[in-house]
Structure 1
Amino acid sequence: MSGHYPYGDPYGGGGAVPPPDDKGSTALRTVLIVAAIAGVVTVVAGLLIVLKSPDEYGLASNRDALALQKQPSGKPEQALFQAGPDVPPPLPQITPAPPMMPSTPLRIVIKRLGINAPIESVGLAKDGTIEVPPLDDANLVGWYRNMSTPGEAGPAVLLGHKDTRTSTAVFSKLYQIKNGDTIEVKRQDKTTAVFTVGGVEQASKKTFPTQRVYGAQENAQLHLITCGGTYDRSIGHYADNIIVYATMTSSYRS
């Protein structure tokens, strides 16, 4: 392009004179503008009529006819039992069964968690703590023999690992147990004691609720213990314990 603009420089160069008005062109433009406005008014009016009655013109939307999907009704997770270390253990709102005579426990079954494991007795370690089952048998549960047997009056204490260095262990899902779940313990006398869960606690090992777990009880209680919380790699232990409190509510012959 040469840079010459026929009707003057649009960026303010100036100097050129605009062409004279053409009266015929002005009249034609007026007629066209009026016709265009009339056309727009006609189109708008037509659209308003269609929108008021979309069914008559085949424009009804199927959106309003679609059934709404049912919203998820997710239930909140069960709250963990929390109390001072001297508070009694939580009991289910149900009548406890009469205690039975002592008998060595052989097997524990928690159907909802898929647990079916043998039990062996454990005592005290040299440092005064309760022994735990050997790590080379991840599915083994320990019964603390210095306390009650499951089904006998008082608290019976069973311990199991959450995991080992190579795999999960028998109580890896214990934290998922719910109030009202049942736990069965098969005994040497051919009876099975059935316990109903009344509470689940996560307690720091630094403030372990000794009285709540080991304190005397009139009814037959079952307390399950495993590890929980965060894992401290520097010492090779979990920071907390998961403790399940259950009361015997029935029994039957195996």
Structure 2
Amino acid sequence: MMDTGEAPVPAGRRQGRYALLAVAGILTVTAALTIGLAVAGRDGDPTRPDASAAASAANASPVPATRPGELTSGPLMASSPPTRVSIPSLKATAATVALGLQTDGAMQVPDSATDVGWFTKAPMPGALGPAVLAGHVNWKGRRGTFFDLGKLAVGAGIAVNRQDGSTAMFTVTKVEQYPKDRFPTDEVYGATDHAALRLITCGGEFDDTTQHYRDNVIVYARLAHAHPA
């Protein structure tokens, strides 16, 4: 799931599984996700990290969601697992599935184009810190929920339904596309003073030589309000 670089970086392949190496503590995430992206005639499947990325992940320092005693900004919600994510402006909605790590360090992967995975080593959406949701743009020839993720506009809303019956309403603050060798690990997974959300998928061209997608699309959002408040 990760490509070369100074920090763990997602990557894509036509065959394989999501792989992710995490150094996890209390509200700690220093891992990166990968989701397949469709190019003509291809299914986007995840890949494993190469040796350099794996070494980088293993040596990474844990990054807390917030520091003890730090003030927070904006609304916060009690922790509750997500059950569904909706992006009205993209007419996209999907059930969420929990994604953990296998014993070999590979991340579990949604087994459909429509499901969106929530990385369980990250905070829950609405709670303090950066919650991470990842989805396919294509899976086994089917268009995925995150197919149009790169078209999402700043100010757009994202609703995450939660197990306790509440809904976390997020507002998009920026949408970026990064080359995999410059994946912004600290910005995506690092400490925040608010309830944050990251949506991740692959982007850019598929490199037939390396069997990796060149970029990642990342949506950044922050909690605007909770329903019920």
TM-score, length-normalised on structure 1?
A: 0.58
The structure that has the greater radius of gyration is 1
Aligned twin of 1:214: 189
- Choose from 94, 98, 102 the match for 1:117: 94
Q: Give the Cα–Cα distance (whole angstroms) in 1 for the partners of residues 102 and 213 of structure 2.
A: 19
The residue identity in structure 1 corresponding to 2:228 is R
Per-residue CA deviations over 1:158-178 (Å, capped at 9, x if unaligned) read 000111241211100000100
C-alpha deviation, 1:125, in angstroms: 4.8
Question: In structure 2, do the counterparts of structure 1 residues 201 and 132 end up closer, same or farther at CA, with 3 Å as the change threshold?
Answer: farther
Shift of 1:206: 1.9
Residue 239 (structure 1) shift: 1.2
Taking the aligned partners of 2:196 and 2:122, their CA distance within structure 1 comes to 11
Unaligned runs of 5+ in 1: 1-95
Matched, 1:229 2:207: no
**Residues 127/162 of structure 1: CA separation in 2 closer, same or farther (3 Å cut):** farther
CA distance in 2, matches of 1:162, 1:119: 15
Matches within 5 A, 1:76-225: 97-125=74-102, 128=105, 130-134=107-111, 137-225=112-200
Deviation, structure 1 residue 251: 1.1
Relative to structure 1, the CA distance from residue 206 to residue 130 in structure 2 (aligned partners, 3 Å threshold; closer, same or farther) is farther
What's the CA shift for 1:127?
Answer: 6.0
The alpha carbon displacement at 1:231 in A equals: 1.1
1:142 maps to amino acid: G
- State the shift of 1:187 in Å: 0.2
Q: Supply the distance in 1 between the matched residues of 2:155 and 2:106 (Cα, whole angstroms).
A: 30
1:146 maps to amino acid: K
Contact 2:110–2:117 (CA under 8 A) maintained in structure 1: yes
Contact 1:132 1:160 in 2 (8 A): no
Deviations 1:31-52 (A, max 9, x none): xxxxxxxxxxxxxxxxxxxxxx
In the aligned structure 2, how far is the partner of 1:169 from the partner of 1:237?
18
Letter in 2 for 1:198: T
- 1:234 deviates by 4.1
Identity of aligned residues (%): 43
Q: 1:153 to 1:183 in 2, by over 3 A?
A: same
2:164 is paired with a residue of what secondary structure?
coil
Normalising by the residue count of structure 2, what TM-score does the alignment of the two structures yield? Answer: 0.64
More helix by share: 1
More off after superposition, 240-249 vs 204-213: 204-213
Coordinate RMSD, CA, aligned: 1.8
The separation in 2 between residues aligned to 1:250 and 1:196, in whole angstroms, is 9
Q: Cα deviations across residues 195-251 of structure 1 (Å, max 9, x unaligned)?
A: 000001111222211111110112100000001000123454311110000000111
- Give the structure with the larger strand fraction: 2
Give 2:214's aligned amino acid. Answer: A
